[in-house]
Structure 1
Amino acid sequence: MTHKTPKPDDRSDNVEKLRDMVQNTIGNIEAAEETMVFAEGKERAAIKAKNERRQKSIENFRSEIQDEAADRKNGYSGNE
């Protein structure tokens, strides 16, 4: 049985990836709001609930961006 060594933790582009995730999630919210115009009842409520979860995800992404940016500023290169 061969043992593979794990890949090193590369966080060097986490901030950029997280920013992309925020933009994609915002795009999903906007698309869902456009769809909501044609939705009624339970479907409309489901879209609203999903968008609320998306908003919370955006808040979490932004918090993580701040953490990653602070780590980068404090010298974490991501290749350690």
Structure 2
Amino acid sequence: MDDKYKPKPDDRSDNVEKLQNMVQNTIENLEEAHETMKFSSGEEKQNIVEKNKRREEAIEGMRQEIKDEASE
């Protein structure tokens, strides 16, 4: 088998750190969106509300994944 087609080994050693960074970035995006909402109206504000709800759900999922990874 040619080396360029060989799959990379599954390195999960830094998954918790990557997930924590993703949570932090998502929280920052959430906070920035709250600031943006102050200057938005109507449909734009509703879009931000909906996107922030998805962000909150994503944060919860990432936190659960952090717990799972840390316990392995």
| TM-score under structure 1 length normalisation | 0.85
Q: Which runs of 5+ in 2 are unaligned?
A: none
SS in 1 for 2:39: coil
Task: Measure, in 1, the Cα distance between the counterparts of 2:33 and 2:57.
Answer: 16
SS in 1 for 2:8: coil
Q: CA deviation at 1:49?
A: 0.2
Task: Measure, in 1, the Cα distance between the counterparts of 2:2 and 2:14.
Answer: 30
Counterpart residue number, 1:67: 68
| TM-score under structure 2 length normalisation | 0.94
Percent of pairs with identical residues: 59
Task: Measure, in 2, the Cα distance between the counterparts of 1:39 and 1:28.
Answer: 16
Counterpart residue number, 2:14: 13
SS in 2 for 1:65: helix
Task: Measure, in 2, the Cα distance between the counterparts of 1:32 and 1:47.
Answer: 7
4+ runs of 1 displaced by more than 6 Å? none
Task: Measure, in 1, the Cα distance between the counterparts of 2:2 and 2:68.
Answer: 36
Q: CA deviation at 1:2?
A: 3.5
Query: Structure 1 or 2: larger helix share?
Result: 2
Task: Measure, in 2, the Cα distance between the counterparts of 1:2 and 1:57.
Answer: 38
Aligned residues: 71
